[in-house]
Amino acid sequence: MTDHTRQTGAGEVRMTSAAVSYWFAGNILDEFPKFDPTTGRFMEGEGWAVTNQDIMLGMAYLYKTGYSGNRLYRDAGLLEKIGRTGDALRDFQYPDGKVEFVKVDGSKWGPIYMPWSMYHWLETYRMIESDLDEPRQARWKEGLLLAYEGIDRELRELLARQAADPARQVVHNIPAWNAMALHRAALLFARPDWKQTGEQMIRLTLNEQHEDGFWPEHHGPTTLYNLVYIHALGLYHRHGGRLDVLPALEKALRFHERFTYPDGSRVETVDGRTKYDAHPSPMGLVGFTLVPCGEGYARSLIRLAIQRGIRWKGAHLADLLQHWNVEPETGEQPSLFEQPAAAEELARSMMVKRNGWYVVLSAFTAEKVESRWGQDRQSFIGVWQEQAGLIVGGGNSKEQPEWSTFELKTADGGHYYVPDAGQVDLDRSEAKLVYGPRTLTVRLQTLTQKSVQLAFAADLDEADSAVVHIPLQLHLHQPLRGGDGAEIRLTDQALELTGERGGHSLRHGSWLLELEGPYRLDWPSYPFNPYAADGAAHLAEAVAVLTLPLEPGMERVVSLSTIRE
């Protein structure tokens, strides 16, 4: 820790704008060895992605901000590096202003007006325009005008489709982001027609928000992409947008306060698109800090990122630091996230936070989607503990019954693993999920300082074949121990453990799982990864699947408890 981010108590980081900026600067400086001076690209080994250039906005913020101890303020070498970073985007543009969507693995996803990179380039241009030499200034402006002419054209096409068919769904996180960016570009380049287009899409975006605080994608909430809408609306407001976005941001904060794990990571259990990511994100904070309780929530996530050694280096934190003073004010309202205990129901899901545990039971069901980007809503339980982190959960997959909380086969040949309907009851601490002719009940039976117990039961017929699947988060650096105490070192090789009658236990890291009756544990189970061209997932995304046979009149109980490592 430097003086700018020194700790003031047990794990508590001193929160000032200078301290956070200093930490942010260190994260950006650590990326400089990745800079290729020949191309101006920030590389990932031999690979490169267009979005790698987004770091330019963070660099521009440091160049323009004279906080105490900022050695990068007005630094000529930094200005040149920023210039080369933007040049790399201009060099990569097609004649119509699009860029090829390339990823660091070398895969190509087609030409696009890359929304994030175009905006961060635009905002960098706004910040340092007067510092750029005339040829570079003119070349950047030309590239940005090409990009935003195209973005305006694409948004107008979407709006025309919606006008022709009012039931047509055109609101999505990318158009929402582009609407904000086009509104910003309209102000910078004196294009009132762009402003009108942007505000039309912003209005539609506000109208499409669910009352529970999320924007549906693939029929339901996504805790990750919801942040894109929030960030876009926050910037739109801070850029002087005339539409009132604050009620939408208040509802969105209510959703995220409840579905953020206590370590700042997003609850993937209610997310129909993305998998679990252990890191808190700066995305959305520029919007949250506009509403009551949102400043405390944002400050908590920043503090957790610093304490956990997470290296925010992206442009989203630069957006926030330009517009918000990190120092807390007297009388500030605390957020629900800051409370050590809570029990809430929202978005057909319930969360219980108490005694260092966080448990979520979801009943947000939805039909399968054909798009690669939407997963099957099939996994409905998350269990997190303050020492162990996420124990049960990980997200959803596609066409993989083993990732489903319940799998049912009936005598007539029916096979069900994505439920048709569901409901939660906070008073009874349970979720009911309907799979064709049967209903599974998942109940949070107990939650104490030491342990959590989950109970599973279903209204089965004698001819049914039914199992419960519980995804467990395992870590390669920690062994797995069975009931006999023998250590099993985890690798990428397949592992299967089984048990029949009697009591069984599995120990991993700081948690112990206990159950009665037959089980099977399979490691590793890889989910479908929509962000890879071939759908292949990395080992870090794999889970161990605990499978429990379920019979008529039977209740299966799983106990999770904490232990000393």
Domains present along the chain, CATH in parentheses: 342-562 (2.70.98)
Average pLDDT rounded to a whole number, residues 551-555? 97
User: What DSSP string describes 199-265?
Assistant: HHHHHHHHHT--TTS---BTTB--TTTHHHHHHHHHHHHHTT--S--HHHHHHHHHHHHHSB-TTS-
Helix crossing, 226-238 with 315-323: angle to 10°?
A: 40
Global pTM reads 0.96
Residue 347 pLDDT more than 90?
A: yes
User: Phi and psi for 223 in degrees, rounded to 5?
Assistant: -70, -25
Sheet strands (E) in 331-463: 342-346, 349-354, 357-362, 381-385, 389-392, 406-409, 415-416, 421-425, 430-435, 438-447, 451-458
Residue 12 pLDDT more than 80?
A: no
Q: First CA to last CA across the chain, in angstroms? A: 27
Residue 108 pLDDT more than 60?
A: yes
Q: Specify the range with the lowest mean pLDDT, choosing from 314-323, 470-479, 481-490.
A: 481-490
- By the 8 A CB rule, do 349 and 270 touch? yes
* Both structure tokens of 362: 């979801």
* Both structure tokens of 178: 């582009």
- By the 8 A CB rule, do 542 and 529 touch? no
Residue 430 pLDDT more than 80?
A: yes
pLDDT digits (tens, 9 = 90+) for 286-296: 999 999 999 99
* Residue 512 host element (H or E): strand 511-516
pLDDT at 565: 59
- By the 8 A CB rule, do 101 and 109 touch? yes
- Give the residue from 333, 361, 176 showing the smallest Cα distance to 258: 361
For the purposes of burial, counting CB atoms within 10 Å of the CB of 244, is it exposed (0-12), middle (13-18) or buried (19 or more)? exposed
Residue 22 pLDDT more than 60?
A: yes
User: How confident is the prediction for the chain on average, in pLDDT?
Assistant: 95
pLDDT digits (tens, 9 = 90+) for 359-404: 999 999 999 998 999 999 999 999 999 999 999 999 999 999 999 9
Average pLDDT rounded to a whole number, residues 42-54? 97
d(CA 344, CA 360): 10
pLDDT at 5: 31
d(CA 96, CA 156): 17
Q: Which residues of 442-473 are buried (b: 16+ CB within 10 A; e: fewer)?
A: bbbeebeeebbbbbbbbebeeebebbbbbbbb
Helix crossing, 115-128 with 173-189: angle to 10°?
A: 20
- Give the residue from 251, 161, 236, 174 showing the smallest Cα distance to 203: 236
User: Phi and psi for 293 in degrees, rounded to 5?
Assistant: 75, -20
d(CA 460, CA 457): 9
Average pLDDT rounded to a whole number, residues 306-332? 92
Residue 1 pLDDT more than 50?
A: no
Average pLDDT rounded to a whole number, residues 306-330? 93
* Longest CA pairwise span in the chain (Å): 80
d(CA 497, CA 476): 17
pLDDT at 159: 97
pLDDT at 3: 31
- Give the residue from 417, 419, 508, 433 showing the smallest Cα distance to 466: 417
d(CA 347, CA 359): 15
* Both structure tokens of 115: 């929304």
Q: Report the DSSP beta bridge partners of residue 513.
A: 506, 560
Residue 28 pLDDT more than 80?
A: yes
Average pLDDT rounded to a whole number, residues 409-421? 98
pLDDT at 326: 93
CA distances, 185 to each of 47, 57, 316 (Å)? 30, 15, 18
CA gyration radius, the chain = 25
